[in-house]
Structure 1
Amino acid sequence: MLIRSIIYSVLCFSSLQLNAQSIARRDSDAIPAKLESIYTRGLKYLANSQQANGVWTDNSGHYPGVVGLATLAFLAHGEDPNHGPYSSNIKNCINFLLESQKAENGYIGTSMYNHGFATLALAEAYGVVDEPKIEKALQKAVDLILSAQKRNPKGAWRYSPDSKDADTTVTGCQIVALLAARNAGIPVPDSAIERALKYMSSCRDSGGAYGYTSRGGAKTTLTAIGSLCFSLAKQKNADGFDQSLEHLKQNLDYRDTHYTYYFEYYMSQALFHADEDLWKLWNDKNIRLMSVTQQSDGSWLGNRGPAYSTASALLSLALNYRLLPIYEK
């Protein structure tokens, strides 16, 4: 598709400009027609149900984090954010994120979950979306994450910028956002990443699985988050990484019934970055699962609303396209 070719070239050119590795796809990596049909139907749902102010009216679609995930879902398919059929949807998303940022401290939304996913979206949009305000907003968003970490005794994050405790879900979200921002050319100190990964390690048990706030009560979803953070930080040789991968390998048929699409979103990325052959096995199952659970209108249903579920479900499939810098090897 012409639009996808154009956006692919722009992304690669932007990555080269920013000294980032270009995104590699082999010629043999054909996109299955079934996958393309699933993805385009999902995007049409998001486009048709989005409000003019960039949000969705379901129970979580007005949160910046959900709008950020939807932004990523469009960009991950190679949609042209400036002239394509979904350009107005993407611009509406970006405008909402920019308008949601507090001028005094750069905070986006009312929780660090929202801030982290919104920051990730701005990082992936930077250099691709024709909106000069993104650079300043992204820098302020990163500064907020870093200042919150400095104030946190654990060197990590939880629900608010002033939290004194931490957990692996919020912390994982901030780590990915920081690494994406760094990839986009925003300075992020090595010490910040190292301190955050140290906290994540403190929540990993002897079998490589991650708990929520400690080594106890480890879960596969949390293990996927932890594994992804170390992969993106280029620390796959770190202690415990192989054990975490083995845990994921032993749970390829796992389904998180409460955080279904949150799990799918992280599991796809964790496996892709850790072991591409293992990801392929999981990906085939995931395509089939997303096919049978997709609704007739192109959405996916979940307890946090169809906008969130649909964006997350699409992003669990987006590694097949590999058009976002955060998906590079």
Structure 2
Amino acid sequence: MPLPLTQNRRDHPTQGLRWSLLVLVFLALCLPARAQEPLARQDIFRKHQPAIESAVAKALRYLASTQAADGTYPDSYGRSVGVVSLVGMAYLSAGHTPGYGEYAEELDRCLRYVLDSQRGNGLLDKGDSGHGLMYAHNIATLFLSECSGMVDVETQDQLGPVLARATKLILEAQAVPKNENHEGGWRYKPDSRDSDLSCSGWALMALSSAKLNGAPVPDEAIQKAVAYVLKNHDREEGRFGYTDPWGHSETLTGCGLLCLELSGYHGTESTPRSGEYILKHRQHIINNAHEYYANYYNAQAMFQLGGRFWAQYGDWMYTEYLPKQQTNGSWSNGRNGGTYGTSMMVLSFTVPYRQLPIYQRDETVDELP
């Protein structure tokens, strides 16, 4: 069950930034750069900060200008709960909240669309998700979990049961009998008997977020998911693959690395090797069909590693992608539409903001050198 409102994430020691939004805005506008250190603590962020803030502001205006009254978008998969949820998380990642502030209406539309999408079996499904029902469901569940505890009482009363059923479906889909190579993971449908890393990464993030939010997610479910992730890991090279350790590694290694980083594997032998793999192959994601997805996971994972890994990747990312923003504020490679690309780039650029609870960096562990 979700945490009661008196014990929501605002009371969690790592969640104060979001609920101090007005204070942060005041500091950003009124105090010298030295006083902004909690937000801009990374040298690489400070180097690009004015350009990042301008790009994010333009991107959010673009997303607001293209949103329909029901919360959907006009381009490819723009009615999918997965894409709508990515837009919602982009707003959250920049420090905006449902029900208050500049983009309250846009966020509320995203949230309402997802809340109204649930089927009787718990599946969040609305619009065209192609063959990836669980893919969209996992992203939507993560979005709901990140919103839980920061909405008004009436919305929380609706969100809590929807999130509980959505989380339960993810657990049930994991428990569907699979062979040894696929056990512990997820794929496109709730009853799929195989797994892939891409879908499983979103599922693990959704479960981890729900667990942080007080949902009864068994430790065993997280452990089985991590075990599946490791089945797709080439320990020698540090890479991760789609259904084995090798396929699509240039776009999926960030996903596998982030799963490990957020599951207690920081500083183990595997993680720096994966960071090295990402640095070595980062140029290869450019113009890839899954470019924005790969960059999103790479940025999140390298920020978790910290040190030179984030410094080198972050500098490369901002240098490479800031100039590629279109005049209307969007990013698009012509394959998935501006909504998807723009949302993923905002989520990537705002990593140092640390507004999404699931991706908070554990400050009790050292950054890797």
Q: TM-score, normalised by structure 2?
A: 0.81
Q: Does 1:215 align with 2:240?
A: no
Question: 2:365: which partner in 1?
Answer: none
With over 3 angstroms needed to count, the CA separation of the structure-2 counterparts of 1:229 and 1:156, relative to structure 1, is same
* 2:312 maps to amino acid: L
Q: Distance in 2 between matches of 1:16 and 1:312?
A: 25
Q: Does 1:292 align with 2:323?
A: yes
Question: 2:86: which partner in 1?
Answer: 69
> How big is each residue's C-alpha offset from its partner over 1:184-203, in whole Å with a ceiling of 9 and x where there is no partner?
22121110011111111111
TM-fit CA distance, 1:20 = 5.3
Question: 1:114: which partner in 2?
Answer: 136
RMSD: 2.0
Q: Distance in 1 between matches of 2:314 and 2:161?
A: 37
* 1:193 maps to amino acid: I
Structure 1 unaligned regions, length at least 5: 1-12
TM-fit CA distance, 1:21 = 6.2
Match of 2:57 among 40, 48, 55: 40
Q: Distance in 1 between matches of 2:112 and 2:40?
A: 38
Question: 2:116: which partner in 1?
Answer: 99
The higher radius of gyration belongs to: 2
Query: Contact 1:157/1:170 (CA < 8 Å) preserved in 2?
Result: yes
TM-fit CA distance, 1:101 = 1.2
With over 3 angstroms needed to count, the CA separation of the structure-2 counterparts of 1:319 and 1:28, relative to structure 1, is closer
Query: Contact 2:251/2:291 (CA < 8 Å) preserved in 1?
Result: no
* 1:139 maps to amino acid: A
Question: 1:78: which partner in 2?
Answer: 95
Q: How does 1:88-167 map to 2 (within 5 A)?
A: 88-102=105-119, 104-109=120-125, 111-130=133-152, 131-132=155-156, 133-153=158-178, 154-167=183-196
Question: 2:233: which partner in 1?
Answer: 204
Q: TM-score, normalised by structure 1?
A: 0.90
Q: Report percent identity of matched pairs.
A: 34
Match of 1:325 among 345, 357, 362: 357
Q: Does 1:51 align with 2:68?
A: yes
Q: Distance in 2 between matches of 1:174 and 1:57?
A: 26
**Secondary structure at 2:350 match in 1:** helix
**Secondary structure at 1:251 match in 2:** helix
Structure 2 unaligned regions, length at least 5: 1-6, 19-36, 362-369
> How big is each residue's C-alpha offset from its partner over 1:4-31, in whole Å with a ceiling of 9 and x where there is no partner?
xxxxxxxxx9535256565697365357
Q: Does 1:310 align with 2:310?
A: no
Q: Distance in 1 between matches of 2:327 and 2:279?
A: 32
Q: Distance in 2 between matches of 1:244 and 1:218?
A: 14
TM-fit CA distance, 1:81 = 1.9
Query: Contact 1:209/1:218 (CA < 8 Å) preserved in 2?
Result: no
Match of 1:176 among 180, 183, 205: 205
Query: Contact 2:91/2:107 (CA < 8 Å) preserved in 1?
Result: yes
